[in-house]
Amino acid sequence: MLGKIWNWIDDRSGFSDVVMPMLEHVVPRDARWWYVFGSATLCAFIVQVLTGIALAMVYVPGGDAAYESLVYITHDATLGYLVRGMHYYGATAMVVLAVVHMTQVFLHASYKYPREMNWMSGVVVLFVVLGMAFTGQLLRWDANGVWSVMVAAEMAARVPFIGAYISQFLLGGETVGGSTLSRFFAIHVFILPGLIFAGVGLHLWLILRHGISEMPKADQPVVPETYKEDYEARLEKTGVPFWPIAAWRDVVFSTLMVAVIMGCAIFAGPPTLGPAPDPANIHTNPMPDWYFWWYFAVLSMLPPELETYIILGMPVLGAIGLFIVPLLSNRGNRAPSKRPWALATVIVGATAFVVLTIYGYRKPWSPDFDVKPLPPEVVRSKDPGIQHGAVLVREKGCLYCHDVDGFGGHRGPELSVIGDRLDRGELVIRINNGGYNMPSFASSLTAEELRLIVDFLLTRTDHPDTDAGEDKSD
């Protein structure tokens, strides 16, 4: 009976005539484990679609209800903890696998003739995936997500002539509010997934049209004039059907990936929600998801006069550079042994990414708003005035950016031995007038508070046994 039903459906729909030839298309026999990353990326996208639909059924994209709905999903909804965790780790898997897939294609030079458009469509999909990851951060609607969007809007506002309009479009007004959330929800749920569906569809069609590239061989350079004939001849000799002979590796790897996503969701859980957004609370340190840390680390090291150029230019130049790779070299050797510059590019890029990501994780450019009060062993004085000065150093925000014996931020210079470098007059001038990335405190400190802070700072020397608070200007 089931066979008859299927035959009836197949006869009317033409499934076997359309879909089966695609599944059974011939691929090179040596298309082995190197080739599983593309299908795994598609599988991760399917995980995102399914978990995203489940979350959208409960998530409320409006005002304070958004944050409360996420709290409900995480702690009270049936399997909400698991679904939200899978959506988060699925996004990470999708970004990682897309980058790994493009790296493999780059190393094997699979972007050469006739697969230039395969590469170009993949570049577009990669940037749309990154857009999905970024817009999803705001939908958490906690303080970190909201302030991250405000930072992004400020970056967009630097675009010449139209920056203000782009910023207002992103925010849905002059500042973050309910309209911002609705706008990002629409972009995240409808626009960007639609672009991914279109990009993936084009990508798959191009794969079926041009076939999967073979493993690169040093004695098989790409010659556009004869490549297609040579490729077809090799497939006739050694090719195998994708389904079921070659596809089992894709199935195994994708299944393992889904299991890892589910395991992370079960044992590590979804990302912790920060406090609810409060525009009055400026002691928030916005931090993007980890795959953007490297970019923020780069921006933190720039002099102010270059920030705008890098903020606007780096993404554009990066996208253009990736997009035109096949136009610069679509013939010749594909083997990495014949293209050592390609291997060096990947190694240097991966190393830079790891180093900058670690640097971004440490956030040395961001104030530390959670710094603890200086303990007695750091204050090193029983003088009430010195002790009060140590308290003021924290209360007035000095420790947010300056470190004293391991306590404080790292945005500004360390103050552990500042008493050896500056005298009383120099400290007063520096505190009152401010400096590079340091605000002026002249209007926020009384004369007595300034004196107490300077007294404490003068005790910070390599020879703490000298008289505390000694005035070096005498």
Whether the CB-CB separation of 277 and 176 falls below 8 Å is answered with yes
> Cis peptide before 114, with omega less than 30 degrees from 0?
yes
C-alpha–C-alpha distance, residues 419 and 464, integer Å = 10
Q: Give the residues across from 435 on adjacent strands.
A: 438
Instruction: Report the pLDDT value the prediction gives residue 282, as an integer from 0 to 100.
Output: 58
DSSP 244-280: IIIHHHHHHHHHHHHHHHHHHHHHT-SPPP-PPP-TT
pTM of the model: 0.84
Which domains are delineated in the chain? 23-277+284-362 (1.20.810.10), 376-459 (1.10.760.10)
C-alpha–C-alpha distance, residues 447 and 425, integer Å = 13
What is the residue-level pLDDT of the chain in tens, covering all 474 positions? 899 999 999 999 988 888 888 888 999 988 888 899 999 999 999 999 999 999 999 999 987 789 999 999 999 999 999 999 999 999 999 999 999 999 999 999 999 999 999 999 999 999 999 999 999 988 988 888 888 888 888 888 989 999 999 999 988 888 888 888 899 999 999 999 999 999 999 999 999 999 999 999 999 999 999 999 999 999 999 899 998 888 999 999 999 999 999 999 999 999 888 888 776 665 666 778 899 999 888 888 888 778 888 888 999 999 999 999 999 999 999 999 999 999 999 999 999 999 999 988 877 767 777 888 999 999 989 999 999 999 999 999 899 889 999 898 887 889 999 999 999 999 999 998 887 678 888 888 999 999 999 999 999 998 765 544 444 444
Q: How many helices (H) and strands (E) does the chain have?
A: 21, 2
Whether the CB-CB separation of 122 and 105 falls below 8 Å is answered with yes
End-to-end C-alpha distance for the chain, whole angstroms: 103
C-alpha–C-alpha distance, residues 275 and 268, integer Å = 20
Instruction: Report the pLDDT value the prediction gives residue 172, as an integer from 0 to 100.
Output: 86
